[in-house]
């Protein structure tokens, strides 16, 4: 079949995979190829057992795979035939050299840019989908257009705002699509090409076009603001615990103010996920780089507060459990960084598990989707102190405490009388997500400690 347009995405991860599946399903006349150097990932995308768990994803992939959606490891040939190339390779926080711990590690991005240049024999539009520091597109344009005699590259920014667990809904019905491009005739034409893809299903008024830097910076800023709300409410949760106020009531009261709004005000053990911390640190690094140390310090505090919240949670567990947890079995309910995903990147559960193991507790990890990732994440720790168990009832057997790490619906619906009966006494329940009914659990016999709300102790 002849396709009107050929789109390629390099990077078949959490962002690239679902985004391209939706583009392919909505634009049947466009050929969409997803390429990745990871052969297993590419193979898995073509089975019933997709490499990532995302509600609704399988159905979308099925509508298009083999029709106009294809997966390959042959990145070079895919580049050669593409008109528009989205790049969504990972851009982790640098672990070495200048900017270590804050700046983005751009090595995969640059390597990909060079490969695009080598394999291109016709003009291409290159779209940064990965979240990148401001002005990366400009640098990439220089790399791409250096030595490229007969070929021209237009580099655009089209950041992704999807959240894991709701990725398909977010893609099908986005609040906005943002496309940044150079303010030249060529640049504007390139932007229009990408606009026309999204316009298959997104109303025009929700497709914003800006200059490249605004687009890049908007992504970092959106994530920084969202994370800031969580750190803000978590800081108030700490104060609630001291004063007897209830953080849920405070969040509800302030959220009714239209200027504040109700979303992203759930107190928790802290935010996780691959983006928030990485993007804020990236913003901090940029501010430092541009000589704005006060601005950098302001945003860095959002990350520090998040770390403090996790540590506070563990300290509270230890102090409630008579100041020692050596040898005590503690069941962690959930390991994913939030519900409805198997993703464990930067999950607060990982930090909590590590701190508990440092205190020589025995940690039992259970999660409906993230156990394989948990095994990998905790591989460097003494395995005699860790048990992985898919059944939450078994995980809680003989445990001194259960701690809710992820707000899986399943954990709200468990038979806590049965769990209580199988646990060591006194039985502790630490609710790091505020999803359980404190009074009902107390009546069963637990000592219950939620976040930012009065707990109920039987001791
Ligand atoms: C990634 C970035 O982490 C994030 O900053 C950005 O906003 C979007 O892209 P994600 O899709 O979650 O997010 O990353 P990941 O699931 O790790 O997928 C990246 C994929 O790129 C991996 O499958 C990896 O194999 C692939 N890759 C990486 C390449 O194909 N080539 C490379 O050179 C490097
Ligand atoms: C986020 C952004 O929402 C998305 O727009 C961007 O493209 C990528 O980063 P994601 O990381 O998938 O998406 O999840 P999100 O739903 O934002 O949650 C992030 C973390 O914050 C999770 O650990 C979640 O449990 C936590 N959270 C969220 C809270 O603790 N309280 C809240 O009120 C909301």
Question: What is the biggest distance separating any 2 CA atoms in the chain, rounded to whole angstroms?
Answer: 78
For residues 327 and 401, the answer to whether their CB atoms sit within 8 Å is no
SS3 assignment, position 136 = helix
User: What are the pLDDT digits (tens) for 211-253?
Assistant: 999 999 999 999 999 999 999 999 999 999 999 999 999 999 9
Per-residue confidence band for 416, with pLDDT thresholds at 50, 70 and 90: very high
Ligand 1 pocket test, candidate residues 89, 91, 165, 274, most atoms within 8 A of CB: 89
Kindly give the distance from the C-alpha atom of residue 114 to the centroid of ligand 1, in angstroms, as a whole number.
17
Number of H helices, E strands in the chain: 18, 14
Per-residue confidence band for 133, with pLDDT thresholds at 50, 70 and 90: confident
SS3 assignment, position 210 = strand
Measured between alpha carbons, how far is 345 from 329 in angstroms, rounded to an integer?
24
Rounded average pLDDT over 421-437 = 98
Name the strands in the sheet holding 207-210, side by side, starting at the edge strand that comes first in the sequence.
69-72, 30-35, 5-10, 84-87, 124-128, 153-157, 177-180, 207-210
Residue 302 tokens, joined:
């959002």
Kindly give the distance from the C-alpha atom of residue 11 to the centroid of ligand 1, in angstroms, as a whole number.
5
Going by C-beta distance under 8 Å and a sequence separation of 6 or more, which residues neighbour residue 43?
A: none
The predicted structure's pLDDT at residue 93: 86
Enumerate the active-site residues: 275
Q: Which atom of ligand 1 is nearest to the CA of 52?
A: 16
Kindly give the distance from the C-alpha atom of residue 154 to the centroid of ligand 1, in angstroms, as a whole number.
21
Is residue 376 classed exposed, middle or buried when 0-12, 13-18 and 19+ CB atoms within 10 A define those classes? exposed
Nearest CA residue ID for atom 18, ligand 1: 13
Burial 53-91 (b: 16+ CB within 10 A, else e): bbebbeebbeebbeebbbbbeebeebbbebbbbbbbbbb
Does the pTM exceed 0.85?
yes
Measured between alpha carbons, how far is 186 from 184 in angstroms, rounded to an integer?
5
Ligand 1 pocket test, candidate residues 50, 74, 88, 163, most atoms within 8 A of CB: 88
> At residue 148, does pLDDT exceed 80?
no
């Amino acid at each position: 079949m002849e396709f009107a347009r050929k789109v390629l995405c390099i990077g078949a991860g959490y962002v690239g995979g679902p985004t391209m599946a939706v583009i392919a399903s909505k634009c049947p006349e466009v050929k969409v190829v997803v390429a990745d150097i990871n052969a297993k990932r590419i193979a898995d995308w073509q089975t019933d057992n997709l490499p990532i768990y995302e509600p609704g994803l399988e159905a979308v992939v099925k509508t298009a795979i083999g029709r106009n959606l294809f997966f390959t490891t042959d990145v070079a040939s895919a580049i050669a035939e593409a008109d528009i190339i989205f790049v969504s390779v990972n851009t982790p926080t640098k672990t070495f050299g200048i900017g270590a711990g804050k700046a983005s590690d751009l090595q995969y991005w640059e390597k990909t840019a060079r490969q695009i240049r080598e394999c291109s024999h016709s003009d291409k539009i290159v779209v940064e989908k990965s979240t990148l520091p401001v002005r990366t597109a400009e640098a990439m344009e220089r790399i791409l257009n250096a030595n490229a005699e007969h070929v021209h590259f237009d580099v655009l920014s089209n950041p992704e705002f999807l959240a894991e667990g709701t990725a398909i809904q977010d893609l099908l019905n986005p609040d906005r699509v943002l496309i940044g491009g150079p303010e030249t005739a060529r640049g504007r034409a390139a932007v229009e090409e990408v606009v026309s893809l999204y316009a298959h299903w997104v109303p025009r008024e929700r497709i914003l076009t800006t200059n490249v830097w605004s687009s890049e910076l908007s992504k970092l800023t959106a994530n920084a603001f969202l994370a800031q709300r969580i750190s803000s409410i978590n800081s108030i949760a700490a104060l609630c615990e001291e004063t007897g106020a209830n953080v849920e009531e405070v969040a509800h009261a302030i959220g009714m103010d239209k200027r504040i709004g109700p979303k992203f005000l759930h107190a928790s053990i802290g935010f996780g996920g691959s983006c928030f911390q990485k993007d804020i640190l990236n913003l901090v690094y940029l501010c430092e780089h541009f000589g704005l140390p006060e601005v950098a310090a302001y945003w860095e505090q959002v990350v520090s507060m998040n770390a403090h919240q996790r540590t506070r949670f563990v300290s509270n567990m230890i102090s409630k459990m008579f100041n020692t947890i050596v040898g005590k079995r503690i069941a962690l309910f959930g390991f994913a960084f939030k519900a409805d995903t198997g993703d464990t990147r930067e999950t607060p559960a990982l930090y909590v598990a590590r701190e508990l193991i440092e205190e020589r507790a025995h940690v039992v990890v259970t999660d409906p989707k993230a156990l394989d990732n948990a095994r990998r994440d905790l591989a460097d720790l003494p395995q005699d102190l860790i048990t992985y168990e898919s059944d939450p009832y078994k995980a809680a057997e003989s445990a001194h405490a259960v701690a809710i790490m992820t707000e899986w619906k399943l954990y709200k619906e468990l038979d806590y009388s049965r769990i209580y009966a199988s646990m060591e006494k006194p039985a502790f329940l630490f609710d790091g997500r505020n999803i359980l009914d404190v009074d009902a659990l107390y009546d069963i016999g637990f000592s219950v400690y939620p976040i930012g709300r009065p707990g109920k102790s039987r001791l």
